Structures are given as C-alpha cells and as structure tokens.
Amino acid sequence: MKVLMFAHGGSLNRGCEAIVRSSTKLIKEKVEAAQVYLVSGKPETDHIIPKLDKIIDGSDSKIKRYTFDWFVASLKVKLFDDESYALQKIHQKIIKEIKEADICLSIGGDNYCYGEQPGWYEVDRQVKRQGKKLVLWGCSVGEEDLSERKLGDLQLFDLILARETLTYHLLKEKGLKNVYLVADPAFTMEKEELDLPKGWKEGNTIGLNFSPLVLQRNKKSQEAVRELIYHILTTTDMTIALTPHVIDKGNNDYDVLNKFYKEYMETGRVLILPDHLNATQYKGYIGRMRFFIGARTHATIAAYSNCVPTMVLGYSVKSKGISKDIFGEEKLVLGIDEISDSAKLKSYFDQMLREEKELRENLQKSIPQIKKMSYKAIDYLYALVH
C-alpha cells in the first residue's frame, strides 16, 4: 500500500513534524509493506523524520507573467470566475504524485480551522478524478470555519478522521458520511531525553509556550502572559522553562519567548530551550516538567501524553475538543479572547496548582485510552482499502 501524505507545510512547525513522524510509525507498525511518501512545502526540513520512504518537493509553482499558462489562467478567472486551472498549475508538484498512490492523506489537520483553502480543494478534486482514496487525517473544524464551499470539499472525502469529539459531532450534524472519531497521532509519539539545561529544577520546573499566532489574534495577550510569569516567580519557587514549538520564519515562537527571557533572566529562575530541537526532543523536556502552559496544540499534546498537568492558551476548537476528550469537560482552556485577561490567567494557574494531584491522576487514567483512539485511525485506514 502506497500512502501519499500532503498538505504539510514543513517540519519547522514541530507539531506538523509530530503528526508526520507519529502517523508514519503507526502506519508502518500496522500495515505490512506500507510505503509512506511525504509531499512537503519545505522538504529540506523533513529529513529529521525517520521511516519515510520518500520526501517530495511540494512547494508552490509560480505562473510566470505572459506565459501560455498565465494567459489561460487569467482568462478562466476573468471570464468564468474559474480558478481551477491556476490552482492546478500552482500545485502541479503535488498533483503529479497522485497517480503513484493508493491512498492520499490530507494531513494538515489544522488547515480546515483557518478560512477557505481553495488550493487544497483543487488537489482533493484531482485525487478523486484519478480514482484514488482520499482521507482527511486527524482534523479539527469549528462551526465558524464551516462554509458551504468547505462543506462541499469535505463531501469528496472517502474517510474523515476527526481528532476530537467537537469536530466529530459537528461534521455528523452537517450530514457528512464516513466520519469517525480518533485521537491525534502525536499522542503516541516517542520522546528523546537530552541533558537538562543549567537552572532546571528537577520536579519543580514549569514549561511556558507562547506563539506569534496568538499574539497576532490578541494583541494584549503578551502583557497578560508577562504578568503571569511575574505571578509564578513571586508566588512559587518554580523555574520557568520557555519552550518554543514552531520555529518557522515569520511565525517563530522563539522570537516572542526570547523577549520574556531577556526581561526575566536576571532572576536566575527563567531559562529558554533552544530553537533547533526536534519534536521528540521537545517532548523529552516537556515530559520532565511539573506543569505546562502552552499555546501550540502539539506542545500541549506532548504535555498531556506525559501526564503533565496543562493549561491551554487555546485559539480554536481543537484545544477545547482535546481537553474535553481527556477530562470529560474543557479543563483549564482559555479562549483567544480570554488570554489578555491577566486575572483569569493567574486564576487558572492557581487552580492548576491546587488540583495538581487530581489532574495528574485523571491524565494517568485517560491517556492510555486516548492513545488507543490514535491507533484506531489505522484500523479505519486499513478497512478503506481492504
């Protein structure tokens, strides 16, 4: 069985790396002689992932002005409002790989959280035109994201695997067939434990992840997080480990975290993890933390899967849904509008401290079940082609 993964922007987003890394491992463990090809927007960043059979450059192709393709694309858009020809040319590197695959996995689980995706819609249409099986792998979709156009695209899929119950119930309510509930594959990802950095307090270090994406959506959130850091330093004896998880140009967690580090480094109780670790290495550090506070979904998954009590600076349905599936309720998840409320951040942090034992016990009970749900995805995938 040849599996083609697409809709992957590259592994400088360690969450995307975690999805590819863990999915590849799950597929190869369960499906004999499976071959996994990855089409990537930044293929040079993906060689850190073992077990892939092939990494393919799937970066966008440019349509040069005044060429034949440019004239055809322009005419189709102007006369018929039809962008399909242009999109086929832009995504031609992906489309030409479809013929080699048995199953095409759209692995950008987050892609359907952010507005319209005409490029991916066109790739999906091409997959079905070539008679291949099309799977949406570990997705999250919110009600606010679900337009008629997006719904039309989702109806093309042979299999939709929702990674949390909020998405699952929404898609079922919208009448979509072949929707099944699983868990994010990254819950099963291995970890690598490197030496602890200077200043780390074993058993008493809290991780903090913050992102430009959250800052962009709520400009006042940075000040609230700054006040939370001060609150942790003045009310506890914990060390804070600032933890980047996306290190992509223009969307680099390290840049925003380094400002906090410079501000508080003289306390001797704030350190920053390097910006060049892979997903398993970040998970190795997160797994040895006492608590974790995170904006990036896969940084929080690394914490949850290690049974580390976690507070989520959430900005979409995925954060709420994942927490609900673990705890039976949305537990310590702040919405994007709440992240600028420093009083609420401090209150949630204090609650996390008070409920530390209970949170850890809940995680120890639920995470093995969540991991089973991750493996369930392979059963659905296998059943699709057998």
Q: Which pLDDT band, with edges at 50, 70 and 90, does 315 fall under?
A: low
Task: Please return the burial class of 167, using the count of CB atoms within 10 Å of its CB with bins 0-12, 13-18 and 19+.
Answer: buried
Q: Is the dihedral of CA 218, 222, 227, 231 positive or negative?
A: positive
Domain architecture of the chain: domains with CATH:
2-181 (3.40.50.11720), 205-368 (3.40.50.2000)
User: What is the rounded CA–CA span in Å between residue 340 and residue 225?
Assistant: 8
Whether the per-residue pLDDT at 309 is higher than 80: the answer is yes
Specify the higher pLDDT residue, 303 or 88. 303
What digits encode the pLDDT tens for the residues 285-298?
A: 999 999 999 999 99
User: What is the rounded CA–CA span in Å between residue 118 and residue 79?
Assistant: 18
Packing angle, helices 297-305 and 14-30, rounded to 10: 50
- Return the percentage of the chain with pLDDT > 70, whole number: 100
- The pLDDT of residue 182: 97
- The pLDDT of residue 351: 98
Task: Please return the burial class of 359, using the count of CB atoms within 10 Å of its CB with bins 0-12, 13-18 and 19+.
Answer: buried
Whether the per-residue pLDDT at 281 is higher than 70: the answer is yes
What digits encode the pLDDT tens for the residues 95-150?
A: 999 999 999 999 977 888 878 888 999 999 999 999 999 999 999 998 888 899 99
What digits encode the pLDDT tens for the residues 28-65?
A: 998 889 999 999 999 999 999 999 999 999 999 999 99
CA neighbours within 13 Å on the CB side: how many for 72?
Answer: 10
Q: Which pLDDT band, with edges at 50, 70 and 90, does 76 fall under?
A: confident
Q: What is the mean pLDDT of the chain?
A: 95
- The pLDDT of residue 289: 98
Range of weakest confidence among 11-25, 81-95, 257-271, 346-360: 81-95
pTM: predicted TM-score of the whole model, two decimal places: 0.95
Q: Which pLDDT band, with edges at 50, 70 and 90, does 79 fall under?
A: confident
What digits encode the pLDDT tens for the residues 319-334?
A: 899 999 999 999 999 9
- The pLDDT of residue 144: 84
Sequence-distant (6+) residues with CB within 8 A of 375 are: 26, 30, 188
- The pLDDT of residue 69: 87
Residue 159, helix vs strand vs coil: strand
User: What is the rounded CA–CA span in Å between residue 92 and residue 60?
Assistant: 8
